[in-house]
A and B are shown apart, each in its own frame.
Chain A
Amino acid sequence: MSERAGRNGGGAVLELHDLSVRIPVSGGRWVEAVGGVTLTVGSAEIVGLVGESGCGKSTLGGAIMGLLPGGSRVAGEVLLRGQDLRGLAEEDYRRIRGDDIALVSQDPSASLDPTFPVGAQVAEAIRNHRDVSRRAARERAVELLRVVGIPDPGARYADPPHRFSGGMKQRVVIAAALANDPAVLIADEPTTALDVTIQAQILHLLRDLTVRSGTGVLLITHDLGVVAQVCDRVAVMYAGQVVEQGTVREVFAHPSHPYTRALLESQPAAHHRSGDLPVIPGRVPDLSEPPAGCRFAARCPRAHDRCAAPPPEIRTAGGGRVSCWLHHDTAREAR
Chain B
Amino acid sequence: MNHRLRFVLRRLVLTIPVLLVMSVFIFLIIRLVPGDPVRTMLGFRATPAAVTQVRAQLHLDDPLWAQYRDWIAGVLHGDFGEDFVSKAPLGELLAQRIPVTLELTLLSMILAVVAGVPLGVRAAVGGRWARRLTEGFVVFGVSVPDFWLGIMLVLLFAGTLTWLPPSGYIPFTDDPAGNLQYILLPVLTLAAAETAYIIRTTRGSMLGVLGRPFIVYLRAKGTRERSIVYGHALRNAAAPIATVVGIQFGVLLGGAIVVETLFALPGVGRLIVTAINQRNYPVVQAGLFVVATLFIVVSLITDLVVGFIDPRVSDRGQS
Q: Is the CB of B97 closer than 8 A to any CB of chain A? A: no
Q: How far apart are the CA atoms of A105 and B215 in the complex, in Å?
A: 12
A94 and B212: CB pair below 8 A?
no
Sorting the interface of chain B by its residue count into under 10, 10 to 19, 20 to 34 or 35 or more gives 20 to 34
Query: Which residues of B sit under 8 angstroms from A65, Cβ to Cβ?
Result: 220
- Interface bits B207-237 vs A (CB < 8 Å: 1, else 0): 0000011101111111111000000100110
The minimal Cβ–Cβ distance linking A120 to chain B, given in whole angstroms, is 10
Q: How far apart are the CA atoms of A65 and B218 in the complex, in Å?
A: 12
A97 and B236: CB pair below 8 A?
no
Q: How far apart are the CA atoms of A176 and B235 in the complex, in Å?
A: 20
B315 and A116: CB pair below 8 A?
no
Q: Is the CB of A212 closer than 8 A to any CB of chain B? A: no
Sorting the interface of chain A by its residue count into under 10, 10 to 19, 20 to 34 or 35 or more gives 20 to 34
A128 and B224: CB pair below 8 A?
yes
Q: Is the CB of B310 closer than 8 A to any CB of chain A? A: yes
Q: How far apart are the CA atoms of A124 and B221 in the complex, in Å?
A: 8
Query: Which of B218, B222, B236, B311 has most chain A Cβ within 10 Å?
Result: B222
- The answer to whether residues A98 and B213 also contact, given A115-B235, A115-B310, A160-B311 and a CB cut-off of 8 A, is no
Query: Which residues of A sit under 8 angstroms from B222, Cβ to Cβ?
Result: 94-99, 125, 128-129
- The answer to whether residues A125 and B315 also contact, given A115-B236, A115-B310 and a CB cut-off of 8 A, is no
B221 and A112: CB pair below 8 A?
no
Q: Is the CB of A103 closer than 8 A to any CB of chain B? A: yes
The minimal Cβ–Cβ distance linking A123 to chain B, given in whole angstroms, is 11
Q: How far apart are the CA atoms of A128 and B218 in the complex, in Å?
A: 10
- The answer to whether residues A98 and B214 also contact, given A160-B312, A162-B315 and a CB cut-off of 8 A, is no
8 Å CB interface, B194-213 against A:
212-213
Q: Find the A residue at minimum CB distance from B220.
A: A103
Query: Which residues of B sit under 8 angstroms from A125, Cβ to Cβ?
Result: 221-222
Q: Find the B residue at minimum CB distance from A61.
A: B220
Query: Which residues of B sit under 8 angstroms from A163, Cβ to Cβ?
Result: 315
A116 and B232: CB pair below 8 A?
yes
The minimal Cβ–Cβ distance linking A104 to chain B, given in whole angstroms, is 9
8 Å CB interface, B108-135 against A:
none
Query: Which residues of B sit under 8 angstroms from A82, Cβ to Cβ?
Result: none
Q: Is the CB of B170 closer than 8 A to any CB of chain A? A: no
Q: Find the B residue at minimum CB distance from A99.
A: B222
- Interface bits A232-261 vs B (CB < 8 Å: 1, else 0): 000000000000000000000000000000
Q: How far apart are the CA atoms of A321 and B179 in the complex, in Å?
A: 82
A103 and B223: CB pair below 8 A?
no
Query: Which residues of B sit under 8 angstroms from A94, Cβ to Cβ?
Result: 219, 222, 224-225
Q: Is the CB of B309 closer than 8 A to any CB of chain A? A: yes
Query: Which residues of A sit under 8 angstroms from B216, Cβ to Cβ?
Result: 67, 105
B218 and A113: CB pair below 8 A?
yes
Q: Is the CB of A189 closer than 8 A to any CB of chain B? A: no
Query: Which residues of A sit under 8 angstroms from B311, Cβ to Cβ?
Result: 114-115, 160, 162
Q: Is the CB of A266 closer than 8 A to any CB of chain B? A: no
Query: Which residues of B sit under 8 angstroms from A99, Cβ to Cβ?
Result: 222
B223 and A98: CB pair below 8 A?
yes
- The answer to whether residues A113 and B312 also contact, given A67-B216, A107-B213, A128-B221 and a CB cut-off of 8 A, is no
The minimal Cβ–Cβ distance linking B208 to chain A, given in whole angstroms, is 13
Residue in contact with B213 in the complex, picked from A95, A96, A110, CB distance below 8 Å: A110
Query: Which residues of A sit under 8 angstroms from B217, Cβ to Cβ?
Result: 103, 105, 110-112, 173
Q: Find the B residue at minimum CB distance from A100.
A: B222
The minimal Cβ–Cβ distance linking A38 to chain B, given in whole angstroms, is 24
The minimal Cβ–Cβ distance linking B296 to chain A, given in whole angstroms, is 26
Q: How far apart are the CA atoms of A115 and B309 in the complex, in Å?
A: 7
Q: How far apart are the CA atoms of A273 and B224 in the complex, in Å?
A: 50
B312 and A98: CB pair below 8 A?
no
Query: Which residues of A sit under 8 angstroms from B219, Cβ to Cβ?
Result: 67, 94, 97
Query: Which residues of A sit under 8 angstroms from B235, Cβ to Cβ?
Result: 113, 115-116
- The answer to whether residues A114 and B236 also contact, given A160-B311, A160-B312 and a CB cut-off of 8 A, is yes
Query: Which of B214, B309, B312 has most chain A Cβ within 10 Å?
Result: B214
Q: Which are the 4 A-B pairs with shortest beta-carbon distances? A: A98-B222, A103-B220, A98-B221, A160-B311
Q: Supply 14 further A-B pairs (C-beta < 8 A) apart from A114-B236, A115-B232.
A: A67-B219, A67-B220, A94-B225, A97-B221, A99-B222, A105-B213, A105-B217, A105-B220, A111-B217, A113-B218, A114-B311, A115-B312, A128-B223, A160-B311
**Chain B contacts to A: CB under 8 angstroms:** 212-214, 216-225, 232, 235-236, 309-312, 315
**19 examples of A-B residue contacts, CB within 8 angstroms:** A96-B222, A97-B220, A97-B222, A98-B223, A99-B222, A103-B221, A105-B216, A107-B213, A110-B214, A113-B214, A115-B232, A115-B312, A116-B235, A124-B223, A128-B221, A128-B223, A160-B315, A162-B311, A173-B217
